[in-house]
Amino acid sequence: MSAQAGAQQLRLHEALEQGKGNFPFLKAKRAEIHSAESRIKSVKTDYLPAFIVQDQYTYATSNSVAGAFLPNEGSALSPSGGIRPENHYTPTFGSFTTAMVDWKVFNFGKVKAQVNAAKADLARSQADYENELFQHQVKIIDAYLLLLINQKLVDAQRQNLERASIFKRVTDAAVSSGMRPGVDSSLAAAEYAKAQLLLLESQRSEKAQRLRFSELTGELRDSVQVDIMGFYSQLPIVPGEATSLLKNPALRFAQAQMDASLARSLAVKRSFLPSISLVGAGWGRGSGISNKDDSFHTDFSSGVKYQVFNYLVGVSTRWNLTGILKVRNDYHAEQFQVERFKSLYQTQQLQLDRQERESEIQFQLSLAQARLTPVQLAAARTAFNQAEARYQSGMTDLFTLAQSVNALNRAEVDKFVTTGNAWRSLLLKAAAAGDLDIFLSQINQ
């Protein structure tokens, strides 16, 4: 008892808050939400014009020929200089500075579809987090109740050991005085050893459950004790009308997955459409070759000095017509994903419907059992008192008394287990309905 008294007492709402804030997997889900939020901001920048500034200095020859050429995947060097009857391989310095604005003012909904897809992905991440948080809180409450049951079982087995110890001392004294046969001492020793084993097993189970519970709070502790609160002073009552299954976090997550897939498919479909851009640019060009008389100057200062300035404004339309082949296949792939998430949604809905019906059956059965165990306990205690009195008066043997002791121990254990299971079955109903208030509203926090 001293170990429990010195251990940290943790109430249920504190455990839920610790689990929410500390459990690493929930932290990962929150990071995923922040990532999706940044993704929206990133996609929205596609509304802004591209503003590109470049400044370069070169040292190159200036021979040029007439005629067109194909770019080498964008890496071809642009020719420079006029057409001459003979090649000049004397290099000169040159400079080029440009500023260009490319603003896709009309994109036929492509950017909007991408933004909507990013928002749908954020909604999916938030629904995923809410579902994981809900499921984790259900696990915390269930582990809390199991640890509470195990703590009660340790107390019950400790009381059982105290009874066995008392009877062992009394029996040993009676055998020593010749009032009882020697076999009674052996039976008493066997019952005492059995009581010790039951206590050790209950302590082992309690320690294991304590570690499982503390793991869910995000910090492993082997000394935490849960507060009994009001769980063993009352039984849960039948809750009112359950909330709609459509509010269940698991079902909302399945819906969000389907919505995100639909948004992605629309973004893929619209990516084929053209873009109309407003283009504006200005640039300055310097060269070691004079723009007036084609004279060569090989010094750096002559090459970097700007000789001409230009500007450009216009409208540009880009449309990759052959891209329809890739877009069509990508769109079909996303449509199959939509069908997949629809089927997953229907599967989740079916499972939740089954869980809700099972939880109602389990709750009614657990309540009935919890209401019967006090009757069982009272009868077992009466039988034990009668057997004890008869044994003290020599009207019965120790074997009969041991049976009454075992019956009392089982009744005490059943009382704690059935009461705890009644609360666990209420939690099962809350989990199936997707509403923890069904459970939390009935406890004194």
In Å, what is the CA distance from 358 to each residue of 158, 329, 405, 433? 36, 44, 36, 12
Tokens 């299954």 — which residue? 245
CA distance 224 to 7: 6
> Shortest CA distance to 110 belongs to which of 333, 334, 325, 319?
319
The residue type at 232: Y
Q: Which of 218-227, 239-248, 317-326, 434-443 is the least confident region?
A: 239-248
> In this structure, are residues 3 and 158 in contact, taking their beta carbons and an 8 Å threshold?
no
pLDDT at 97: 95
What is residue 411's predicted lDDT score, i.e. its pLDDT? 95
Residue 242 belongs to a domain: yes
For residues 402 and 335, the model is more confident at 335
Residue 3 lies in a domain: no
Any domain includes 4: no
**pLDDT of residue 3 exceeding 60:** no
Neighbours of 238 (CB within 10 A): 10
Backbone angles phi and psi of 436, in degrees to 5: -70, -15
* Residues 122-149 pLDDT 10s: 999 999 999 999 999 999 999 999 999 9
Count up the domains in the chain and report the number: 1
Average pLDDT over residues 54-60: 93
In a domain, 312, yes or no: yes
Query: Which residues have C-beta within 8 Å of that of residue 264, sequence separation ≥ 6?
Result: 117, 120, 121, 334, 337
| E runs forming strands in 46-161 | 50-60, 92-106
Q: What does the mean pLDDT of the chain come to? A: 89
Per-residue pLDDT tens for 87-129?
A: 888 888 999 999 999 999 999 999 999 999 999 999 999 999 9
Strand blocks (E) in 245-387: 275-287, 306-318
Distance CA 101, CA 52 (A): 6
Is 2 among the domain residues? no
In a domain, 295, yes or no: yes
User: How many angstroms separate the Cα of 230 from the Cα of each of 16, 28, 145, 177, 420?
Assistant: 17, 34, 12, 48, 11
Gap between the Cα atoms of 409 and 377, Å rounded: 9
Q: What is the pLDDT of residues 239-255, one digit of tens each?
A: 876 666 778 999 999 99
DSSP class of residue 86?
S
What does each C-alpha distance from 389 to 87, 182, 257, 397 come to in angstroms?
A: 127, 20, 69, 11
pLDDT tens readout for residues 386-401: 988 887 777 877 788 8
When pLDDT is averaged across residues 366-388 and rounded to a whole number, the result is 92
- In this prediction, residue 7 has a pLDDT band, given cuts at 50, 70 and 90, of low
Per-residue pLDDT, 174: 74
Establish if 6 belongs to a structural domain.
Answer: no
The whole-number pLDDT of residue 41 equals: 95
Question: For residue 8, is pLDDT > 70?
Answer: no
Quote the domain boundaries for residue 135.
12-79+88-441
Highest mean predicted confidence (pLDDT) among 70-74, 131-135, 289-293: 131-135
Residue type present at position 104? K
Report if residue 310 sits inside a domain: yes
Q: What is the CATH number of the domain that holds 329?
A: 1.20.1600.10
**Mean pLDDT within 368-377:** 94
